[in-house]
Amino acid sequence: MKNDRVYVKEFLDKKVSQFNRQEFIPSDPIQVPHAFYRKEDIEIAAFLTAMLAWGQRKTIIRKARQLLGMMNNSPYDFIRYAGKDHWKHLESFRHRTFNGIDTLYFVQALKNIVIHYGSLQELFESAYLQTLNIKQTLQNFRSKFFELPFPSRTLKHIPDVGHGSSVKRLNLFLRWMVRCDSQGVDFGIWKKIPPSALYIPLDVHSGTVARKLGLLKRKQNDWQAVEELTAVLRIFDSNDPVKYDYALFGMGAGKDLLI
Protein backbone atom coordinates (compact mmCIF):
# COMPACT_ATOMS: atom_id res chain seq x y z
CA MET A 1 0.00 0.00 0.00
CA LYS A 2 1.30 3.46 -0.86
CA ASN A 3 2.54 5.76 1.85
CA ASP A 4 -0.26 8.22 2.71
CA ARG A 5 1.92 11.28 1.94
CA VAL A 6 2.80 9.85 -1.48
CA TYR A 7 -0.88 9.29 -2.21
CA VAL A 8 -1.80 12.81 -1.08
CA LYS A 9 0.98 14.35 -3.21
CA GLU A 10 -0.23 12.49 -6.31
CA PHE A 11 -3.77 13.57 -5.56
CA LEU A 12 -2.78 17.22 -5.08
CA ASP A 13 -0.68 17.21 -8.24
CA LYS A 14 -3.76 16.15 -10.18
CA LYS A 15 -5.79 18.89 -8.56
CA VAL A 16 -3.13 21.49 -9.37
CA SER A 17 -3.41 20.46 -13.02
CA GLN A 18 -7.18 20.77 -12.77
CA PHE A 19 -7.23 24.30 -11.37
CA ASN A 20 -3.94 25.87 -12.57
CA ARG A 21 -5.09 26.60 -16.11
CA GLN A 22 -6.33 29.51 -18.16
CA GLU A 23 -9.94 28.50 -17.57
CA PHE A 24 -9.43 29.35 -13.89
CA ILE A 25 -8.83 33.04 -14.59
CA PRO A 26 -12.40 34.22 -15.41
CA SER A 27 -13.74 32.95 -12.08
CA ASP A 28 -10.93 34.30 -9.89
CA PRO A 29 -9.87 37.80 -8.77
CA ILE A 30 -6.61 37.32 -10.67
CA GLN A 31 -8.66 38.20 -13.77
CA VAL A 32 -8.56 41.85 -12.65
CA PRO A 33 -4.79 42.42 -13.06
CA HIS A 34 -4.89 40.20 -16.15
CA ALA A 35 -6.84 43.00 -17.84
CA PHE A 36 -3.64 45.10 -17.88
CA TYR A 37 -0.53 44.77 -20.03
CA ARG A 38 2.01 47.22 -18.60
CA LYS A 39 4.03 45.75 -15.72
CA GLU A 40 3.55 48.87 -13.59
CA ASP A 41 -0.24 48.65 -13.98
CA ILE A 42 -0.27 44.91 -13.31
CA GLU A 43 1.60 45.37 -10.02
CA ILE A 44 -0.69 48.09 -8.69
CA ALA A 45 -3.86 46.35 -9.91
CA ALA A 46 -2.72 43.03 -8.44
CA PHE A 47 -1.81 44.58 -5.10
CA LEU A 48 -5.13 46.40 -4.72
CA THR A 49 -7.12 43.36 -5.84
CA ALA A 50 -5.26 41.06 -3.45
CA MET A 51 -5.82 43.50 -0.58
CA LEU A 52 -9.57 43.34 -1.26
CA ALA A 53 -9.57 39.55 -1.53
CA TRP A 54 -11.87 38.50 1.23
CA GLY A 55 -15.51 37.55 0.85
CA GLN A 56 -17.22 36.15 -2.24
CA ARG A 57 -15.05 36.07 -5.33
CA LYS A 58 -17.70 37.73 -7.52
CA THR A 59 -17.88 40.63 -5.09
CA ILE A 60 -14.09 40.92 -4.86
CA ILE A 61 -13.85 41.09 -8.65
CA ARG A 62 -16.63 43.67 -8.90
CA LYS A 63 -15.20 45.91 -6.18
CA ALA A 64 -11.63 45.68 -7.49
CA ARG A 65 -12.84 46.66 -10.94
CA GLN A 66 -14.80 49.53 -9.41
CA LEU A 67 -11.75 50.84 -7.56
CA LEU A 68 -9.53 50.62 -10.62
CA GLY A 69 -12.23 52.32 -12.65
CA MET A 70 -12.10 55.18 -10.17
CA MET A 71 -8.43 55.39 -11.12
CA ASN A 72 -9.35 55.73 -14.80
CA ASN A 73 -8.16 52.14 -15.34
CA SER A 74 -4.61 53.51 -15.33
CA PRO A 75 -3.59 52.60 -11.79
CA TYR A 76 0.13 53.36 -12.07
CA ASP A 77 -0.36 56.77 -13.69
CA PHE A 78 -3.07 57.61 -11.17
CA ILE A 79 -0.86 56.61 -8.24
CA ARG A 80 2.24 58.30 -9.63
CA TYR A 81 0.87 61.53 -11.05
CA ALA A 82 -2.58 62.30 -9.57
CA GLY A 83 -2.57 64.68 -6.63
CA LYS A 84 -4.83 64.99 -3.62
CA ASP A 85 -7.24 67.10 -5.66
CA HIS A 86 -7.92 64.03 -7.79
CA TRP A 87 -8.43 61.66 -4.85
CA LYS A 88 -11.65 63.11 -3.40
CA HIS A 89 -13.99 60.72 -5.19
CA LEU A 90 -12.18 57.74 -3.67
CA GLU A 91 -13.78 58.57 -0.33
CA SER A 92 -16.96 56.85 -1.55
CA PHE A 93 -15.30 53.46 -2.07
CA ARG A 94 -16.41 50.62 0.21
CA HIS A 95 -15.68 46.91 0.43
CA ARG A 96 -16.70 45.22 3.64
CA THR A 97 -14.65 46.97 6.35
CA PHE A 98 -12.34 48.67 3.82
CA ASN A 99 -13.65 52.21 3.35
CA GLY A 100 -12.79 55.56 1.85
CA ILE A 101 -10.38 56.47 4.63
CA ASP A 102 -8.43 53.29 3.95
CA THR A 103 -8.55 53.87 0.20
CA LEU A 104 -7.10 57.36 0.48
CA TYR A 105 -4.25 56.13 2.67
CA PHE A 106 -3.50 53.20 0.34
CA VAL A 107 -3.18 55.60 -2.60
CA GLN A 108 -0.94 57.90 -0.59
CA ALA A 109 1.23 55.01 0.63
CA LEU A 110 1.57 53.52 -2.86
CA LYS A 111 2.54 56.94 -4.23
CA ASN A 112 5.19 57.22 -1.53
CA ILE A 113 6.55 53.77 -2.44
CA VAL A 114 6.66 54.55 -6.15
CA ILE A 115 8.40 57.89 -5.60
CA HIS A 116 10.92 56.80 -2.97
CA TYR A 117 11.50 53.10 -3.72
CA GLY A 118 10.77 52.91 -7.45
CA SER A 119 8.03 50.31 -7.42
CA LEU A 120 6.45 47.55 -5.37
CA GLN A 121 8.79 45.14 -7.13
CA GLU A 122 11.91 47.05 -6.16
CA LEU A 123 10.76 47.41 -2.56
CA PHE A 124 9.96 43.71 -2.12
CA GLU A 125 12.93 42.38 -4.06
CA SER A 126 15.52 44.60 -2.40
CA ALA A 127 14.27 43.57 1.04
CA TYR A 128 14.30 39.91 0.08
CA LEU A 129 17.82 40.04 -1.35
CA GLN A 130 19.05 41.58 1.90
CA THR A 131 17.46 38.94 4.13
CA LEU A 132 16.60 35.92 1.93
CA ASN A 133 13.62 35.63 4.24
CA ILE A 134 10.01 36.21 3.19
CA LYS A 135 8.76 36.86 6.71
CA GLN A 136 11.29 39.67 7.18
CA THR A 137 10.49 40.92 3.68
CA LEU A 138 6.81 41.16 4.62
CA GLN A 139 7.66 42.97 7.84
CA ASN A 140 9.83 45.42 5.92
CA PHE A 141 7.04 46.09 3.44
CA ARG A 142 4.56 46.83 6.22
CA SER A 143 6.94 49.26 7.90
CA LYS A 144 7.49 51.10 4.60
CA PHE A 145 3.78 51.10 3.79
CA PHE A 146 2.99 52.77 7.09
CA GLU A 147 5.93 55.18 7.25
CA LEU A 148 3.59 58.11 6.51
CA PRO A 149 1.08 59.40 9.09
CA PHE A 150 -1.75 56.87 8.88
CA PRO A 151 -5.27 56.35 10.24
CA SER A 152 -5.13 53.71 12.96
CA ARG A 153 -8.09 51.87 11.43
CA THR A 154 -6.08 51.15 8.27
CA LEU A 155 -3.45 49.06 10.09
CA LYS A 156 -5.74 46.02 10.09
CA HIS A 157 -5.77 45.93 6.28
CA ILE A 158 -2.04 45.14 6.16
CA PRO A 159 -1.76 42.67 9.08
CA ASP A 160 1.52 42.20 10.93
CA VAL A 161 3.21 38.86 10.31
CA GLY A 162 5.42 39.67 13.29
CA HIS A 163 2.33 39.39 15.49
CA GLY A 164 1.39 36.03 14.03
CA SER A 165 -0.96 36.99 11.21
CA SER A 166 -1.18 34.58 8.27
CA VAL A 167 -1.00 37.62 5.93
CA LYS A 168 -3.00 35.64 3.39
CA ARG A 169 -3.54 38.55 1.03
CA LEU A 170 0.13 39.57 0.89
CA ASN A 171 1.16 35.97 0.28
CA LEU A 172 -1.46 35.79 -2.47
CA PHE A 173 -0.03 38.95 -4.05
CA LEU A 174 3.47 37.47 -3.95
CA ARG A 175 2.22 34.26 -5.54
CA TRP A 176 0.73 36.25 -8.40
CA MET A 177 3.91 38.29 -8.95
CA VAL A 178 6.56 35.59 -8.44
CA ARG A 179 5.24 32.22 -9.65
CA CYS A 180 5.88 31.49 -13.30
CA ASP A 181 4.92 28.38 -15.25
CA SER A 182 3.61 27.42 -18.66
CA GLN A 183 -0.03 27.83 -17.63
CA GLY A 184 0.20 31.62 -17.38
CA VAL A 185 -2.25 32.13 -14.53
CA ASP A 186 0.28 33.70 -12.17
CA PHE A 187 2.30 36.49 -13.75
CA GLY A 188 5.86 35.60 -12.76
CA ILE A 189 7.13 39.11 -13.53
CA TRP A 190 9.29 39.39 -10.41
CA LYS A 191 12.47 37.40 -11.01
CA LYS A 192 14.62 38.10 -7.94
CA ILE A 193 12.39 36.26 -5.45
CA PRO A 194 12.38 32.50 -6.15
CA PRO A 195 9.07 30.62 -6.01
CA SER A 196 10.75 28.23 -3.57
CA ALA A 197 10.81 31.03 -0.96
CA LEU A 198 7.06 31.72 -1.05
CA TYR A 199 4.52 30.77 1.61
CA ILE A 200 1.01 29.43 1.12
CA PRO A 201 -1.80 32.05 1.11
CA LEU A 202 -3.66 30.31 3.93
CA ASP A 203 -7.37 30.99 4.31
CA VAL A 204 -10.40 29.17 5.66
CA HIS A 205 -10.80 27.12 2.45
CA SER A 206 -7.21 25.96 2.03
CA GLY A 207 -6.85 25.42 5.77
CA THR A 208 -9.93 23.21 5.96
CA VAL A 209 -8.79 21.03 3.06
CA ALA A 210 -5.22 20.81 4.38
CA ARG A 211 -6.50 19.55 7.73
CA LYS A 212 -8.78 16.98 6.10
CA LEU A 213 -5.80 15.68 4.14
CA GLY A 214 -3.63 15.50 7.26
CA LEU A 215 -1.22 18.17 6.06
CA LEU A 216 -1.93 20.66 8.82
CA LYS A 217 -2.46 19.99 12.52
CA ARG A 218 -2.59 23.51 13.90
CA LYS A 219 -6.19 24.70 14.34
CA GLN A 220 -5.67 28.45 13.95
CA ASN A 221 -5.07 29.97 10.53
CA ASP A 222 -2.07 32.01 11.67
CA TRP A 223 1.58 32.37 10.62
CA GLN A 224 2.57 29.28 12.55
CA ALA A 225 0.05 27.31 10.50
CA VAL A 226 1.38 28.91 7.31
CA GLU A 227 4.89 27.73 8.18
CA GLU A 228 3.69 24.25 9.13
CA LEU A 229 1.70 23.73 5.93
CA THR A 230 4.31 25.30 3.64
CA ALA A 231 6.99 23.03 5.12
CA VAL A 232 4.95 19.99 4.06
CA LEU A 233 4.30 21.43 0.61
CA ARG A 234 8.03 22.02 0.17
CA ILE A 235 8.53 18.29 0.66
CA PHE A 236 6.11 17.74 -2.22
CA ASP A 237 7.82 20.36 -4.44
CA SER A 238 10.79 22.26 -3.03
CA ASN A 239 11.00 24.56 -6.05
CA ASP A 240 7.34 25.58 -6.21
CA PRO A 241 5.45 24.75 -3.00
CA VAL A 242 2.69 27.34 -3.38
CA LYS A 243 1.45 25.82 -6.63
CA TYR A 244 -0.58 23.65 -4.26
CA ASP A 245 -2.63 26.71 -3.36
CA TYR A 246 -4.56 25.95 -6.53
CA ALA A 247 -5.45 22.49 -5.27
CA LEU A 248 -6.21 23.40 -1.65
CA PHE A 249 -8.17 26.56 -2.39
CA GLY A 250 -9.85 25.13 -5.48
CA MET A 251 -11.16 22.12 -3.59
CA GLY A 252 -12.17 24.18 -0.55
CA ALA A 253 -13.98 26.90 -2.45
CA GLY A 254 -15.63 24.35 -4.74
CA LYS A 255 -16.39 21.86 -1.95
CA ASP A 256 -14.55 19.32 -4.09
CA LEU A 257 -12.74 16.81 -1.87
CA LEU A 258 -13.17 13.51 -3.65
CA ILE A 259 -10.25 11.24 -2.81
SS3 content of the chain, % helix, strand, coil (to 5): 65, 0, 35
Under the banding of pLDDT at 50, 70 and 90, the label for residue 3 is low
Residues 89-106, mean pLDDT to the nearest whole number: 97
Question: Which of 107, 119, 118, 114 lies closest to 150, judged by CA?
Answer: 107
Instruction: Decide if 53 contacts 96 (C-beta within 8 A).
Output: no
Please tell me whether the overall predicted TM-score, pTM, comes out greater than 0.85 for this model. yes
Question: Which of 193, 123, 135 lies closest to 159, judged by CA?
Answer: 135
The larger pLDDT score, comparing residue 19 to residue 256, is at 19
* DSSP summary character for residue 84: G
CA–CA distances in Å: residue 123 to residues 43, 119, 166, 240, 249: 12, 6, 21, 22, 28
Q: What is the pLDDT of residue 258?
A: 42
Residues 34-40, mean pLDDT to the nearest whole number: 97
Q: What is the pLDDT of residues 215-259, one digit of tens each?
A: 999 999 999 999 999 999 999 999 999 999 999 998 987 654 443
Q: What single letter denotes the amino acid at residue 232?
A: V
Q: What is the pLDDT of residues 61-79, one digit of tens each?
A: 999 999 999 999 999 999 9
Q: What is the pLDDT of residue 252?
A: 80
Q: What is the pLDDT of residues 190-216, one digit of tens each?
A: 999 999 999 999 999 999 999 999 999
